């Protein structure tokens, strides 16, 4: 049984790209592995500085996780800021991290290149991420390709620390799923809130239909054959259809005579029905937010027992324990 750690920023409404690329496989890990799953509200502060929004989005993210199947009795589920040991470890690790290592971070340079005004939190983001991973002696870190370098930075920090003080930290391995290709948004680019091209998990039926019908397609006439592998609608369709339906739709594309509008009309009710049980569970959970908060607090208490033990090892090693 491996110890797997993953988190998500409470940065707004979840979309189907989040679900298939991250949340679905992650929630699946709880069946056979030791899953550590948390809401990374400290990380969110690098770009979100409205306190009311952060509070609201933290609860919304918790509702999403629980509605989509995360079991707090099987997994460790908490809010990042409820385990203060992570910021203490982050400071310690910052004293063992070279400036050059942070300056090489692709994520930081990409954000600056896009015009985001950087703050110190954004620059030191990889150290806090390293603390998140190393504090719980996590073995496997599921990440997208854009986050792989952060895991590599974590490995560098841990290996340097272990070289000085002994085998205190577990050296984590990134897990990048090759099964889930980039999920296109309604405009054909990668689905992302920053592009405004998402299809959200918990849309109203009217909003869902509107977004699906706006998915960008090429101008191939209805009667002509079409390439399903180059179609944004088909890329989303195959996420929700079983193998038989996917194969049948692929055949229709290649044969010709099927218009994109027809496929969209079949797609949007499939999405609506797929998320129906999750939507209903979320509505039930919302009726008792106090219980949701209680679940998060209990998760933090359970998680802190591990965090405290790791931090004690680190503090003894570096000399912060002097008696």
Distance, in Å, from the CA atom of 33 to the CA atom of 283, rounded to the nearest integer, reads 29
Residue 219, pLDDT > 60, answer yes
Q: Where are the domains of the chain?
A: 3-181+289-318, 203-274
Q: What is the pLDDT of residues 291-312, one digit of tens each?
A: 999 999 999 999 999 999 999 9
When comparing pLDDT for 120 and 182, which is higher? 120
**Does residue 179 surpass a pLDDT of 80?**
no
Average pLDDT rounded to a whole number, residues 144-156: 87
Contact between 236 and 20 (Cβ < 8 Å): no
- Between the two ends of the chain, the Cα-to-Cα distance in Å is 37
Q: How far apart are CA 25 and CA 180, in angstroms?
A: 10
Query: What one-character DSSP code corresponds to residue 33?
Result: S
State yes or no: pLDDT of 52 exceeds 90.
yes
Question: pLDDT tens, 69-88?
Answer: 999 999 999 999 999 999 99
As annotated, the active-site residues are 111, 190, 193
pLDDT at 56 over 90: yes
Average pLDDT on 163-184 reads 86
Average pLDDT of the chain, as a whole number? 93
Tell me what percent of the residues of the chain surpass a pLDDT of 70.
Answer: 98
Classify residue 45 by its DSSP letter: T
For residue 116, count other CB atoms closer than 10 A to its CB.
13
The band of 231, judged by pLDDT with boundaries at 50, 70 and 90, is: very high
Where b means 16+ CB within 10 Å and e means fewer, 130-141 reads bbbbbbbbbbbb
- Percent above pLDDT 90 for the chain: 80
Higher pLDDT, residue 118 or 185: 185
CATH number of 3-181+289-318: 3.40.50.620
Rounded Cα–Cα distance for residues 60 and 63 (Å): 5
* pLDDT tens column, 249-261: 999 999 999 999 9
Q: What is the pLDDT of residues 19-45, one digit of tens each?
A: 998 889 889 999 999 999 999 999 999
* CA 134 to chain CA mean position, Å: 18
- Is residue 278 pLDDT above 80, yes or no? yes
Q: What letter does residue 82 receive in the DSSP assignment?
A: G
CA–CA distances in Å: residue 286 to residues 70, 242, 293, 294, 305: 16, 31, 11, 13, 29
Highest mean pLDDT among 143-147, 155-159, 189-193: 155-159
Please state, in angstroms and rounded to a whole number, the distance separating the CA atoms of residues 233 and 230: 9
Is the pLDDT score of 232 beyond 60? yes
pLDDT value of residue 295 = 98
Inform me whether the pLDDT recorded for 154 exceeds 80: yes
203-274: which CATH architecture? Answer: Orthogonal Bundle (1.10)
pLDDT band at residue 111 under the 50/70/90 scheme: confident
Do 3-181+289-318 and 203-274 come out as alike in CATH topology? no
Would the pLDDT of 94 be above 70? Answer: yes
The pLDDT assigned to 180 comes to 57
d(CA 108, CA 131): 18
The residues near 311 (Cβ < 8 Å, ≥ 6 apart) are 85, 88, 89, 135
> What's the average model confidence in pLDDT over 284-289?
97
Whole-angstrom distance, CA of residue 170 vs CA of residue 97: 17
- Alpha carbon distance 188, 190 (integer Å): 7
């Amino acid at each position: 049984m491996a110890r797997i750690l993953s988190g998500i920023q409470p940065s707004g409404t979840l979309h189907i790209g989040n679900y298939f690329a991250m949340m679905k496989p992650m929630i699946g890990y709880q069946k056979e592995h030791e899953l550590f799953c948390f809401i990374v509200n400290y990380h969110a502060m690098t770009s979100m500085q409205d306190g009311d929004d952060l509070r609201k989005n933290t609860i919304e993210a918790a509702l999403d996780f629980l509605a989509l199947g995360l079991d707090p009795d099987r997994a460790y589920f908490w809010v990042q800021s409820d385990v203060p040991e992570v910021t203490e470890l982050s400071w310690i690790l910052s004293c063992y991290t070279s400036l050059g290592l942070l300056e090489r971070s692709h994520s930081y340079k990409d954000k600056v290149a896009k015009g985001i005004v950087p703050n110190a939190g954004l620059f030191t983001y990889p150290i806090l991420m390293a603390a998140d991973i190393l504090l719980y002696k996590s073995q496997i870190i599921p990440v997208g390709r854009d986050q792989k370098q952060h895991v590599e930075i974590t490995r560098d920090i841990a290996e340097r620390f272990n070289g000085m003080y002994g085998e205190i930290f577990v050296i984590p391995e990134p897990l990048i799923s090759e099964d889930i290709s980039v999920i296109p948004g309604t405009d054909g680019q990668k689905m992302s809130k920053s592009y405004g091209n998402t299809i959200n998990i918990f849309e109203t039926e009217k909003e869902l239909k509107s977004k699906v019908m706006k998915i960008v397609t090429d101008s191939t006439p209805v009667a002509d054959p079409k390439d399903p592998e180059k179609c944004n609608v088909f890329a989303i369709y195959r996420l929700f259809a079983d193998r038989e339906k996917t194969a049948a739709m692929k055949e229709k594309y290649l044969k010709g005579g099927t218009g994109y509008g027809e496929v969209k009309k079949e797609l949007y009710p499939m999405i609506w029905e797929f998320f129906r049980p999750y939507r209903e569970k979320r509505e039930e959970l919302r009726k008792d937010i106090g219980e949701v908060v209680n679940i998060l607090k209990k998760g933090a208490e359970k998680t802190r027992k591990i965090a405290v033990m790791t931090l004690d090892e680190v503090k003894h090693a570096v000399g912060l324990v002097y008696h």
